[in-house]
Structure 1
């Protein structure tokens, strides 16, 4: 990341690093996602909901075919399932960590925050429509975080935590790209209001514990800054780095494909996670302290 890009991050709360991920990394992550789809199709077959695996279907539409009319089985989010070796190529990616180290420049140990997720956003599916929020404003289950602001700013502020987001298919306005209010991290941590649940029942995935509830920053704040809202369109291979305090949301998917994406965070390992899990060190001034390869990643877990 050059000086201009770092300045853009500091002023606007985000930066898009074009083409940061190579094809080998993308292929590896998509292979891991295909395994998740394989697990779901076997579950549906065992329940008599499906008889075909749709293995010849393209990546961006296969999950749609697998779910079919059984929309209640559409996964909202994957977290526990991400300790597959294929995902290490992304979470331990050297080029990604080089950017993270520039942002968290004072950290001697950098952990992957225990909130790494893969989201297969279905077309025209309301439970996949994420509301405006700041990640530091939410508890693990999506309810408003009521911990003292000073403690959360120390744990999730500019020099403590950075968010990452990467699409596995083209992220456009039509497919539901990310939406940001640039510079909104300067507003500080805002109170969030609980709106409800993203889905009342959950049959698959880990949404029963994580990202269950929808909490939003005050609507008057969104209306005030509405003219500043941008669509962050990007392609597979691009990585978006943004502040944990930036106001953002995912767009609605109006296309005919699944908008697969990965979101994860890195944090100075000296800071509090404000949750039971402590994550895993992915970079350290002492390399022996960091997860070194896919085999080690597979031996770990979210909890």
Structure 2
């Protein structure tokens, strides 16, 4: 590409991914898991969702607008824990955020056939935080388990909206919303402050996706994972850090000082 007054350097594919995230707010990572693995995750999600419906009650979930949301499936099936600790994703998050980060949440969205999900409202994944920051505080890794397109209600984005604290007008968003086309096994990486929403599923198939939000440790987890996962024997230091064990608040003065002592 020709230019004048400045130099344009050719970048790598990885560099382009980071530039997409920085400027547009999102990028697509192709075929991180196989389509067969994606299908297996769909079946596992249905199983966990059924379990959560039994635990809380279907009517109660409907009352609080939680239908077809599977919260923290990693606490139910170890396969989801492995997904949250995917090495490729963690390397990307570290490159964007830095070495100190934790898993803020892992939630799955089931967009049923011929229906509109309640997450079809425009939102940021740090909700009600309408400001911008010079550093990235939070990154999403959204695993597409079924086809994401206009018919299935694929995720829509307002490109570069993470760069402005002001929420655009409805007319602007209607005009500039972009539906990202993705296949089973693809992962959408995006800045959590990017405005997005689920589309309306007008197809005859359910759409499944698993969302991971990784944040700097100053942002508390949606669910206290170290307490939620007490039954899990997680000894790996990296895994414990990602799951938030390293960043637990001290319960006493001595506990605080012992943690400092252990760093020596």
**Partner of 1:232 in structure 2?**
180
CA distance 1:187–1:288, change in 2 (3 Å): same
**CA RMSD, Structure 1 to Structure 2 (Å):** 3.5
Q: Which has the higher contact order (CA 8 A, sep 6+)?
A: 1
What is the correspondence of 1:269-280 to structure 2 with a 5 Å cutoff? 269=217, 271-273=218-220, 277-279=223-225
Q: Return the offset for 1:21.
A: 2.3
Match of 1:82 among 52, 65, 74: 74
Deviation track 1:239-272 (CA, whole Å, cap 9, x = no partner) reads 0011111111110000111111111111123x22
Q: Is the 8 A contact 1:29 1:90 kept in 2?
A: no
**Partner of 2:17 in structure 1?**
5
**Partner of 1:18 in structure 2?**
30
**Partner of 1:166 in structure 2?**
143
Q: Does 1:93 align with 2:86?
A: yes
What is the correspondence of 1:172-251 to structure 2 with a 5 Å cutoff? 172-188=149-165, 190=166, 221-251=169-199
Deviation track 1:277-296 (CA, whole Å, cap 9, x = no partner) reads 4556xxxxxx943327xxxx
CA distance 1:80–1:13, change in 2 (3 Å): closer
Q: Is the 8 A contact 1:31 1:86 kept in 2?
A: no
Q: Is the 8 A contact 1:161 1:268 kept in 2?
A: yes
For 1:172 and 1:31, how far apart are their aligned partners in 2?
A: 21
TM-score by length of 1: 0.61
**Unaligned ranges ≥5, structure 1:** 48-66, 139-143, 191-216, 281-286, 298-303
Greater shift, 248-257 or 20-29, is seen at 20-29
For 2:103 and 2:71, how far apart are their aligned partners in 1?
A: 13
CA distance 1:108–1:3, change in 2 (3 Å): closer
For 2:222 and 2:72, how far apart are their aligned partners in 1?
A: 14
